[in-house]
Amino acid sequence: MSKSTNNLYLRFPVVRRIEHLIMLLSFTTLGLTGLPQKYTESSIGAFVLGLLGGIENLRFIHHTAAIVMMFGTAYHILVMGYSVFVLRDQMSMLPSIQDAKDGLQALLYNLGLAKTYPQMGRYTFEEKMEYWAFLWGAAVMGATGFLMWNPITATQYLPGQFVPAAKAAHGGEAVLAVLAIIVWHMYGVHIKRFNKAMWTGTQTEAEMLHEHPLELADMKAGLADKRPDAATLRKRKMIYYPVAAIVTLGMLAGIFGFINGEKTALTTIAPLTETQIYSPQTPQP
């Protein structure tokens, strides 16, 4: 974190912003191709279905976006591991009792019952809630998606009722996730106050003072830029890189198994026509 001559403070480097953009695009694509499959009888669902050339194309795009999100999630895990183990960054996204206190004070402030808004650090309680809600949603969607993508494999170990249950949970969680982004994230980040940090990477001192005053204080005190010395970094990397390589191979194997476990339910069989159903058999001699 550093201060520039334009009085800007760096919050997110380029790689983190690219990661955010990839997840944004994959999530949006999943929503636009998933909800029409849930609401096939709606006019909007039928329109999207026709626009993309039918259910097979819709599913292909949906599955491709899901694969992109899987890789994005795997990358995020590796980056977080490097940040915590090698750089010893604070795990500032972990929820704490202080977040509950901040949430209560923010509620009282919005109701006019508190004089000041809570002073927060690197991430606000709202940002933490969104982050963990996204992780929870990704876990649910991944588990239920696997059951629907690989129903035969799944029912070798689980009762058959799990597949339709997964379909119901997958669709319900999708609606919840899309509504959370449209109502909560859009309002809090783009309407209430337009937070450009995930696009520019920086915030002004006034924005930092309003949203992250405790982090701003750490930056000014020089506490936010502390990094281990070169020798310590080298030792930690020697430990982390082999472990990360094994974890990466495990995640890649999991993703490969997810998408190539079986071909069942990936092709929609065209329904029989009336002629095919009622056509009499040819008399045999």
Residue 223 lies in a domain: no
Q: How far apart are CA 222 and CA 244, in angstroms?
A: 30
Same domain, 52 and 114: no
Nearest to 30 by CA among 51, 61, 72, 74: 61
Contact 228, 88 (CB under 8 A): yes
Same domain, 131 and 38: no
Q: How far apart are CA 220 and CA 225, in angstroms?
A: 10
Same domain, 118 and 177: yes
Residue 211 lies in a domain: no
Return per-residue pLDDT of the chain as tens, 285 residues. Answer: 444 445 899 999 999 999 999 999 999 999 999 999 999 889 998 899 889 888 889 999 999 999 999 999 999 999 999 999 999 988 999 999 999 999 999 999 999 999 999 999 999 999 999 999 999 999 999 999 999 999 988 999 999 999 999 999 999 999 999 999 999 899 888 888 889 999 999 999 999 998 999 999 988 887 777 788 899 999 999 999 999 999 999 999 999 999 887 765 555 566 666 665 555 566 665
Q: How far apart are CA 188 and CA 131, in angstroms?
A: 14
Residue 282 lies in a domain: no
- The last residue of one of the domains, among 194, 216, 237, is 194
- Residue 258 three-state SS: helix
Whole-number Cα distances in Å, 57 to 37, 47, 191: 12, 14, 34
Same domain, 5 and 85: yes
- Taking the complete model, does pTM exceed 0.95, yes or no? no
Domain containing 36: what range? 1-89+229-263
Residue 221 lies in a domain: no
Contact 144, 173 (CB under 8 A): yes
Q: How far apart are CA 153 and CA 35, in angstroms?
A: 25
Chain centroid offset of residue 50 CA:
28
Q: What is the pLDDT of residue 281?
A: 60
The strand ranges marked E within 126-277 are 202-204
Instruction: For 246, list phi and psi in degrees, rounded to 5.
Output: -65, -45
Residue 135 lies in a domain: yes
Residues whose CB is less than 8 angstroms from the CB of residue 24 and which lie 6 or more positions away in sequence, other chains included = none
Q: What is the pLDDT of residue 41?
A: 86
Same domain, 187 and 103: yes
Residue 27 lies in a domain: yes
For 120-124, the CB contacts below 8 A with 24+ separation are 120/211, 120/212, 120/213, 120/214, 121/92, 121/212, 121/214, 121/215, 121/218, 122/90, 122/92, 122/93, 122/212, 122/214, 122/215, 123/92, 123/93, 124/211, 124/212
Contact 152, 137 (CB under 8 A): no
Same domain, 125 and 43: no
- The last residue of one of the domains, among 170, 194, 218, is 194
Residue 280 lies in a domain: no
Q: What is the pLDDT of residue 1?
A: 45
Q: How far apart are CA 167 and CA 141, in angstroms?
A: 10
Look at the chain and report how many structural domains it folds into: 2
Q: What is the pLDDT of residue 2?
A: 45
- The last residue of one of the domains, among 135, 169, 194, is 194
Q: What is the pLDDT of residue 3?
A: 45
Q: What is the pLDDT of residue 264?
A: 56
Chain centroid offset of residue 196 CA:
19
Residue 202 lies in a domain: no
Contact 143, 159 (CB under 8 A): no
Same domain, 63 and 111: no
Q: What is the pLDDT of residue 5?
A: 41
Same domain, 60 and 48: yes
Same domain, 41 and 16: yes
Same domain, 97 and 188: yes
Same domain, 60 and 103: no
Q: Looking at residue 119, which CATH number applies to its domain? A: 1.20.950.20
Same domain, 54 and 80: yes
Nearest to 137 by CA among 180, 98, 104: 180
